[in-house]
Structures are given as C-alpha cells and as structure tokens.
Structure 1
C-alpha cells in the first residue's frame, strides 16, 4: 500500500488517475489535511513536524510500506519523519528537481505560494549536490495564482501559471513548485521546458512501494 499525504482534496482524483496509468493495481490510501499547510505557512514547516510524524506512524501501523507527500511546503518534514519509523517517504517534487538539474544549470521556480520557494530551492540544491552540478535558481511567485486556486477558479489559476511560464527566458528548465500547478505544463508555453511533479513523483513512489513489497517478501521466506 502507498499512503499519500495531501494538503488539498484536489489531488486525490489526480493521483488516482496517475496510479491507473503508471501502476495499475497499486493500493492507495489518501490522507487529506489542509490545516497542515495553513499552519506551515503561518509558523513554518517545523510547526507541523510532530503531527506529520504521528500520521505517518499511524499509516505504517495500518500497513503502509511507502508514503508520498504531495505538498512541497511540508515535503522535507515528511521525508525526515519517515526515517525513524522505517517508512520510506518521498516528497513528490524530488524526481522533478532531479530532472531540472539534469536539464541544465539555469532553473526558474514558479510558485503560487511564497512558503513553497525555500523548500523547493533547498530540494534543488540537494539534487544538484547529489549530481555534482552547480545551478543558479531564480524564483517567481505568480501574482494572484493562489487567490484563484483558493477561490476554486482552476482555469484562471492554471492560466496565470502558464502566462508566467511564457514570460521566462534564459533558462534551461522551469519548475512548477506545487503539484496543483501541473496542468499548466500542458498549456502553450515558450521555448523553455516546463516540469511538473505529480507523474514523476507517483512513478517513483510506486517503484519504492514495489521494492518495499519485494523486500518484505524476502524477509518472510
């Protein structure tokens, strides 16, 4: 079983659909806790660390072998909580960050929330260090995007993100910092590749779940 920790209910059908395409038959369990993002924005991601650890511990007791955190703001907190529990936890944007580093040194991060910028920049730095590369990261908070998202104006939200992507120049990759922005990558853009996190994150988490399942099977032999 793969447990997904979300801070918005809009992600549930998105990841269910991706599971059907990428890993049919993989059991998913969705935990949706919008208040975690609210507190993390107000007080910092560390403010929700204990609660995230408690949720993951409960998930492990319920049979989860792997977890995927789809919220970039609290992703690092979730990954850190998994270690002491013996539960592999992946933040959804890690594979995207690795792909951005591979694309080239000039990376632009687009975000709807300012609270996402620092965690995303830190993640890209981690992946750059892992790859032995140097990168330059520019960040942009898309004006009005979060307000549209919060109001349920999905079309307006995605168009704001796509418009911001079209304005980017002199970059090797554009990173969409939040999973909710993913559909904007499919809209007409300029010449810079636009990377989003849900598909690559789900694919990597499914592989982790399969590895954990195989390891568990070996232990019972």
Structure 2
C-alpha cells in the first residue's frame, strides 16, 4: 500500500486533502504534518527554508510528498517534493488568456505569480486581492470566508481564475459558470500519478 504525505500550514487542510485522497486514491495511507508557524514566519519575512526541510523530513518514507501551502511552495519544491499549486498553475496557463490570481494573504501573491510565470513567462496575470476575507478564515468562519472571496471574483474580467491558496478552493462552487482552478484536487491527482 502506498503512502502520501502532506505538509500543511493550517489544520483545516487535513480534512480537505484526506477526503480527496479517499476519493481519488482509495487504499492509500495518508500522513500529515501541520505547522502554522511556517506561514506566519514567511508572512513576516523570516527565512523558513531549513524549517520546511526539517518538517518535510518527518514525512520520510512516503511514496510521494506534497506541500499544500502556496506561500512556502518554492522552498518545498527545492527540497524535492511536489509543490501543491504547480499542477494548477500548469492548467491555468494551458487554458490561455487572462488569468486572475485571487489571494487572501499578501505573502501568497509573489510566489504564485512567479510560479505562473515559470510555467509561461508571457502569462497575462491580473492580481485580485481578497485580503479582507482572511480574518474570517483565521476566525474559523469558513463559509463567510468563501462567500467573501466569491463576491470579490464575480465580476473579474478573466478567462480563468486561480485560487492561490488551498483554503480558497470551496469558493469555486460559489462561482457557477466561471472557469475556476484550485490546487487541492489537481495536487492530489498529480501526486498519485507521480508515485
């Protein structure tokens, strides 16, 4: 039996990614490491690369490891694991046209933009800050968090919308008829195909 490991920066992702593995790769074992301080430190501009490597070391022995946090994704990718938002970024640039990059934490914009430009240097990116929604996430008001993100995105003029953080994914269901990409499902699919 294969094992997939996840490095998260919020506890809420344990259930999200656990459910996706159960759906997309039934029978796989799952291991989670959660460290909110990695995101907090990255947001404060403190270096986290060695600590990311240390926490990933706790997932040694897994057949495949995914870092689900977009803010520290580059550090995790340099450590040799799957960056959870790369499959989403690849799909976004393949779709073509203007890409709206929605983000609820300011520290996420630069790594997500850099990732999309890594996939396509000429990508036409439209940053869409949803910063006022983040306190709702921190307060555990997830339904209101997703509603606030969807409200911000309804009138965005873009061919595809990228939800830069995995916590934003449920907002996609509140935007019927809009092409919205989120990282959790694409990350799990890519991870299980990679192993």
Q: Could you tell me the TM-score, scaled by structure 1's length? A: 0.84
Partner Cα separation in structure 2 for residue 135 and residue 149 of structure 1: 29
Say whether the 8 Å CA contact 1:26–1:206 is kept in structure 2.
Answer: no
- Conserved in 2, the CA contact under 8 Å of 1:72 and 1:92? yes
Query: Is 1:35 aligned to residue 41 of structure 2?
Result: no
**What RMSD over aligned residues (CA atoms) do the two structures have, in Å?**
1.3
Structure 1, residues 139-186: CA drift from partner, whole Å, max 9, x if none? Answer: 1211411011001111110001111110201x1111000000000001
Alignment correspondent of 1:200: 186
Structure 2 match to 1:57: 57
Assess if the C-alpha contact under 8 Å between 2:104 and 2:165 holds in 1: yes
Q: Comparing both structures, which one devotes a greater share of its residues to helix? A: 1
Q: CA deviation at 1:192?
A: 3.7
Aligned length: 193
The 5 Å alignment of 1:116-135 reads 116-129=108-121, 134-135=122-123
Report if aligned partners of 1:111, 1:177 keep a CA contact under 8 Å in 2. Answer: yes
Aligned to 1:97: 89
Unaligned runs of at least 5 residues, structure 2? none
**1:136 counterpart residue number:** 124
* 2:33–2:59 Cα contact (<8 Å) kept: no
Larger radius of gyration: 1
> 2:33·2:58 contact (CA, 8 Å) conserved in 1?
no
Give the gaps of 5 or more residues in structure 1. Answer: 83-88, 210-221
Task: Please point out which of 21, 25, 28 is paired with 1:26.
Answer: 28
TM-score normalized by the length of structure 2: 0.94
What is the correspondence of 1:116-195 to structure 2 with a 5 Å cutoff?
Answer: 116-129=108-121, 134-169=122-157, 171-189=158-176, 192-195=178-181
